[in-house]
Amino acid sequence: MTPGSASTTAPIRLGTRGSALALAQSQRVADSIAARTGSPVELVTISTLGDRSTAPLESLGGAGVFVTAVREALLAGECDLVVHSLKDLPTASHPELTLSAIPKRVDARDALVARDAATLEQLLPGARVGTGSPRRRAQLRRRRDDLEVVDLRGNVDTRIGRVLGDREGVEADLDAVVLAVAGLERLGRDDVITEHLGIAGWPTAPGQGALAVETLASVSGPLRSALQGIDHPATRTSVEAERAVLRLLEAGCSAPLGAHAFIDGGMLFLAARVYSEAGEQVSAAHALYVDDTRTPGEDAAKRVVDELLELGAADLAPMGGAR
């Protein structure tokens, strides 16, 4: 079987990271493809540097470190498609690969998981809050500069265990952690959420809550048709706008930047916010009719980025797109 194609008898091979979250979200995609093609779909687990290392993500090159090994397996013909968390995917396109499907996005918000069911405002001064995200660190400092923000790595269960303890002996040495709602829901752990942090005041990473299904550009046949069937155009347009903000600013997927877009009444709304490490911020928002342009996401992002730079975004955080 040639890479990127599938027959009705041979299994379709779906490449994925081996974390519980990656396996859970990849299985959902696998089930959808199997239902549409009539072919079995098997998961091919791929180890990445981001999974093996406990170093801060910024020192490894940002969230994109999770992507490289998975893409290499796809290019080597070890699998027919791969599934990424879209927020981890670099914005630069790959000449041999394509995003064949972006399924409908789930909840894009961040959530607080805290002891004693506390909200962010209820945490005591000096409380220890864990996160591995520069954006979340800046947002925490802006909202509560009296908290101790602790760098955090590890899978979802490990992070929750740092707050609530767990049966594997993880020490509960934090008062709270900030995690993505989508990941908690996909793992069936949303019961531990003590506060949903609203997008308007707490914008999240571009693409958060969405998955990306990547294949060779030459993908064809039943697999291509199945992927077209699970693609969600409104989600694709929205996340394209968010990711275009990152690309135009040349900020990188670990930058202290939040962006969120959605479509309502035929209009695309896009808002973005850039933070300094100390929590200072600049923000911009624009809207346009989707049908008024061939590239609504790109056009909205250009307007937002121009305003962000005029407001001094490049002075708050390193931005390669400063001009």
Query: What's the mean pLDDT in 254-258?
Result: 86
Q: With cut-offs at 50, 70 and 90, classify the pLDDT of residue 323.
A: very low
Query: What's the mean pLDDT in 8-28?
Result: 91
Helix locations, the chain, DSSP H: 20-37, 49-52, 57-60, 68-75, 134-143, 156-164, 181-186, 221-230, 233-249, 296-310, 313-316
Determine which of 74-83, 133-142, 248-257, 299-308 has the lowest per-residue pLDDT on average: 248-257
Query: What's the mean pLDDT in 306-313?
Result: 96
* pLDDT greater than 60 at residue 16: yes
Query: What's the mean pLDDT in 221-239?
Result: 97
Catalytic machinery residues = 87-88, 135-136, 153, 159, 253
DSSP state letters, 124-169: PTT-EEEE--HHHHHHHHHH-TTSEEEE--S-HHHHHHHHH--TT-
Residue 117 backbone zone (phi > 0: left; psi -120 to 50: alpha; other: beta): left
Rounded distance between C-alpha atoms, residue 116 and residue 93, angstroms: 44
* pLDDT greater than 90 at residue 297: yes
Largest CA distance in the chain: 60
Tokens representing 162 are: 């740092």
Nearest residue to 241 (alpha-carbon basis) of 299, 199, 282, 312: 299
The domain covering 12-103+210-231 belongs, at the CATH homologous superfamily level, to: Periplasmic binding protein-like II (3.40.190.10)
Q: With cut-offs at 50, 70 and 90, classify the pLDDT of residue 171.
A: confident
Q: With cut-offs at 50, 70 and 90, classify the pLDDT of residue 7.
A: very low
The domain covering 110-197 belongs, at the CATH homologous superfamily level, to: Periplasmic binding protein-like II (3.40.190.10)
Please tell me if the domain spanning 12-103+210-231 has the same topology as the one spanning 110-197. yes
Q: With cut-offs at 50, 70 and 90, classify the pLDDT of residue 52.
A: very low
Residue type, 272: A
pLDDT confidence of residue 6: 46
Task: Note the CATH architecture for domain 239-316.
Answer: 2-Layer Sandwich (3.30)
Is the model more confident about 171 or about 123?
123
Domain boundaries, the chain: 12-103+210-231, 110-197, 239-316
Half-sphere exposure of 132 (CA within 13 A, CB side): 20
* pLDDT greater than 90 at residue 55: no
Average pLDDT of the residues of the chain: 90
Whether 223 and 6 have beta carbons less than 8 Å apart is answered as yes
Is the model more confident about 304 or about 59?
304
What whole-number percentage of the chain has pLDDT above 70?
88
* pLDDT greater than 90 at residue 301: yes
pLDDT confidence of residue 153: 83
Residue type, 243: R
pLDDT confidence of residue 253: 63
Q: With cut-offs at 50, 70 and 90, classify the pLDDT of residue 22.
A: very high
* pLDDT greater than 70 at residue 60: no
